[in-house]
């Protein structure tokens, strides 16, 4: 089934803007930096998950789903956007949230989850999440409901379609604005966004590097995840996987001490974009990804005549739950 034939729920405000960050570019003294504002997709503070949820909710609706079940941490951007998408579609959101504490602080994304009236089930570790989702789905089926399980991050072949479509959108904007980027940067975690971007890049013949900056794990693991999702996505489209695994780029230089633990470089990135462009990054995903771009600029990878694109995938609500971590850059 081709991309245009896939069931799709029109959740997002598209196209998202692509604009030159003039003050930021001047501050870094390197290439022209363009921001692709997927933090402005519109649903529940926006973010990249909304693009994935357009296809996931579309699929769920064709199956007659009454409940959307998904999972994530207490500050999951995906859980927040899924809860909102479920309400938009007239479904009940069910979230399996892993937390090391029995009562995680009611702030940031978790506050929004509750505002949307999501049914929240806590588990103590990430390893327990899949089994709990299966148990909840079984209980719902027994009651006559129709559950639809979405993996963490929406990282499967259906969700990745959102970023196949995003690459078509980006290609059109680059053409219209006469931009020829050398590289496109974005945050990479579970492989869903990266896999979709890779498939879209291959199908639409991009001639620039696609750089996923990892927020966890190693480059080899990031490449494997992205390639696996790309294969699932291609299967959904009814085509052979067009992605060359050897060409995938997963930069693990910004992971630091691990997932959700800010680095000095990512804190610098948050402060820099806030004070040059009025744009908010989050300390878990986008700030680490932008720190990867800054590192490449400072390493001399680009000239002043080059152009690069940063796909801003959202996540700002997490800032409100991480005040202590970002305190060093305030003032």
What are the pLDDT digits (tens) for 196-215? 999 999 999 999 999 999 99
Q: Could you tell me which residue, 1 or 15, shows the higher pLDDT? A: 15
Report if pTM > 0.85. Answer: yes
Using left for φ > 0, alpha for ψ between -120 and 50, and beta otherwise, residue 160 falls in: alpha
Report the pLDDT value the prediction gives residue 181, as an integer from 0 to 100: 98
Boundaries of every domain in the chain? 3-47+155-329, 49-154
Report the pLDDT value the prediction gives residue 197, as an integer from 0 to 100: 98
Report the pLDDT value the prediction gives residue 331, as an integer from 0 to 100: 76
Q: Domain 3-47+155-329 belongs to what architecture?
A: 3-Layer(aba) Sandwich (3.40)
CA nearest neighbour of 179 among 20, 300, 17, 23: 20
Neighbour count for residue 103 (Cβ, 10 Å) = 7
Cα 314 from Cα 309, distance rounded (Å): 15
Average pLDDT of every residue of the chain: 97
Cα 64 from Cα 148, distance rounded (Å): 9
Provide the residue count of the chain: 331
**Tokens 């078509």 belong to residue:** 168
Q: Average of pLDDT values for 162-169?
A: 98
**CATH topology identical between 3-47+155-329 and 49-154:** yes
What sign results for the dihedral spanned by CA atoms 22, 24, 30, 36? negative
Cα 247 from Cα 237, distance rounded (Å): 21
Is 25 among the catalytic positions?
no
Report residue 219's pLDDT band, with 50, 70 and 90 as the boundaries. very high
pLDDT at 122 over 80: yes
pLDDT at 1 over 90: no
Report the pLDDT value the prediction gives residue 127, as an integer from 0 to 100: 95
Residue among 76, 99, 100, 307 flagged as catalytic: 76
User: What fold does the segment set 49-154 form as a domain?
Assistant: Rossmann fold (3.40.50)
Reported as a single tens digit per residue, the pLDDT across 78-97 is 999 999 999 999 999 999 99
pLDDT at 319 over 90: yes
Report residue 119's pLDDT band, with 50, 70 and 90 as the boundaries. very high
Burial class (CB in 10 A: 0-12, 13-18, 19+), 34: buried
Cβ-based neighbours of 229, under 8 Å, separated by 6 or more: 155, 156, 157, 160, 191, 192, 194, 195, 196
Q: 19-26 long-range contacts, Cβ below 8 Å, gap at least 24?
A: 21/273, 21/276, 21/277, 21/279, 23/276, 23/277, 24/272, 24/273, 24/276, 24/277
Would you report the helix, strand and coil content of the chain in percent, each value rounded to 5? Answer: 50, 15, 35
pLDDT at 238 over 90: yes
Report the pLDDT value the prediction gives residue 30, as an integer from 0 to 100: 84
């Amino acid at each position: 089934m081709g991309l245009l034939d896939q069931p799709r729920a029109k959740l997002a405000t598209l196209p998202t803007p692509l604009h030159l960050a003039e003050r930021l570019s001047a501050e870094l003294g390197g290439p022209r930096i363009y921001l692709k504002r997927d933090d402005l997709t519109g649903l529940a503070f926006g973010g990249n998950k909304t693009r994935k949820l357009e296809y996931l909710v579309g699929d769920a609706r064709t199956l007659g789903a009454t409940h959307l079940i998904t999972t994530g941490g207490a500050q999951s951007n995906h859980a927040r956007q899924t809860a909102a998408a479920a309400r938009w579609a007239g479904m009940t959101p069910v979230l399996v949230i892993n937390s090391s504490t029995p009562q995680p602080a009611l702030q940031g994304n978790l506050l929004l989850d509750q505002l949307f009236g999501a049914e929240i089930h806590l588990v103590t570790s990430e390893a327990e999440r899949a089994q709990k989702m299966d148990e909840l789905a079984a209980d719902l089926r027994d009651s006559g409901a129709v559950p639809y399980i979405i993996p963490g991050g929406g990282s499967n072949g259906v969700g990745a379609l959102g970023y196949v479509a995003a690459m078509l959108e980006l290609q059109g904007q680059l053409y219209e604005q006469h931009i020829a980027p050398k590289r496109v940067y974005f945050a990479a975690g579970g492989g869903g966004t990266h896999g979709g971007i890779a498939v879209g890049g291959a199908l639409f013949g991009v001639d620039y590097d696609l750089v996923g900056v990892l927020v966890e794990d190693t480059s080899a693991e990031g490449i494997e995840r992205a390639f696996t999702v790309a294969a699932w996505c291609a299967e959904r489209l009814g085509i052979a996987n067009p992605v060359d695994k050897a060409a995938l780029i997963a930069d693990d230089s910004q992971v630091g001490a691990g997932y959700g633990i800010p680095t000095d470089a990512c804190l610098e990135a948050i402060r820099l974009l806030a004070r040059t462009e009025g744009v908010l990054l989050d300390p878990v995903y986008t700030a680490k990804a932008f720190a990867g771009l800054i590192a490449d600029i400072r390493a001399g990878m680009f000239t002043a005549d080059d152009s690069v694109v940063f796909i801003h995938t959202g996540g700002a609500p997490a800032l409100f739950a991480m005040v202590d971590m970002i305190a060093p850059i305030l003032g």
